[in-house]
Amino acid sequence: MKISVAGTGYVGLVAGVCFAEKGHDVTCVDVDENKVKMMEAGITPIYEEGLQELMQKNNAAGRLHYTTDYQSAYKDAEAIFIGVGTPEQPDGSANLSYIATVSRQIAESVERDCLVVVKSTVPVGTNDKVEQFINDFLVRNVKVEVASNPEFLAQGSAVHDTLHAARIIIGTESREAEAILKKIYEPFELPIISVNRRSAEMIKYACNDFLALKISYMNDIANLCELVGADIDAVAEGMSYDARIGSKFLNAGIGYGGSCFPKDTKALKYIAHQHGYTLRTVEAAVDVNAEQKTRLYQKANNRMITFQNLRVAVLGLAFKAGTDDLREAPSLDNVALLLENGADIYAYDPIAMDNFKKVYPEGKSMNGSIHYVDDPAKALKDAAICFIFTEWEEIKSIPPEDFEKLMRIPLVYDGRNVFNVKEMKDAGIEYYSIGR
Write down the pLDDT at residue 156.
Answer: 87
Nearest one of 328, 165, 353, 168 to 260, comparing CA atoms: 328
38 CB-contact burial (10 Å; exposed 0-12 / middle 13-18 / buried 19+): middle
Query: Domain boundary residue among 242, 265, 292?
Result: 292
3-state secondary structure of 59: helix
Query: Domain boundary residue among 247, 262, 292?
Result: 292
The CA-CA-CA angle for residues 215, 219, 221, to 5°, reads 115
**Do 269 and 373 have their domain in common?**
no
Question: How many CB atoms within 10 Å of residue 303?
Answer: 12
3-state secondary structure of 18: helix
CA distance 36 to 43: 10
**Do 145 and 178 have their domain in common?**
yes
Separation of CA 290 from chain center: 17
φ/ψ of residue 173, rounded to 5 = -120, 10
**Do 48 and 174 have their domain in common?**
yes
Rg, Å, the chain Cα set: 24
Query: Domain boundary residue among 157, 173, 195?
Result: 195
* Structural contact between residues 61 and 96, judged by C-beta atoms closer than 8 angstroms: no
Write down the pLDDT at residue 259.
Answer: 81
Q: Catalytic residue at 386?
A: no
Which regions of the chain are under pLDDT 50?
A: none
CATH number of the domain encompassing residue 149: 3.40.50.720
CA distance 389 to 379: 14
DSSP 8-state symbol, 89: P
Write down the pLDDT at residue 258.
Answer: 87
CA distance 106 to 313: 49
**Do 316 and 359 have their domain in common?**
yes
Nearest one of 145, 204, 150 to 180, comparing CA atoms: 145
What is the total count of domains within the chain?
Answer: 3
Whole-Å CA distances, 3 to 54, 193, 314, 364, 366 = 17, 21, 44, 48, 48
Question: How many CB atoms within 10 Å of residue 341?
Answer: 18
CA distance 130 to 342: 49
Separation of CA 404 from chain center: 34
CATH number of the domain encompassing residue 239: 1.10.1040.10
Write down the pLDDT at residue 203.
Answer: 97
**Do 103 and 137 have their domain in common?**
yes
| This prediction's pTM | 0.91
**Do 223 and 339 have their domain in common?**
no
Residue-number span of the structural domain to which 302 is assigned: 295-432
* Structural contact between residues 213 and 285, judged by C-beta atoms closer than 8 angstroms: yes
**Do 248 and 394 have their domain in common?**
no
**Do 260 and 336 have their domain in common?**
no
φ/ψ of residue 97, rounded to 5 = -65, -35
**Do 359 and 234 have their domain in common?**
no
**Do 63 and 123 have their domain in common?**
yes
**Do 320 and 173 have their domain in common?**
no
φ/ψ of residue 302, rounded to 5 = -70, -25
**Do 284 and 366 have their domain in common?**
no
Catalytic hit among 18, 28, 114, 260: 260
Question: How many CB atoms within 10 Å of residue 76?
Answer: 13
Beta bridge pairs of residue 74: none
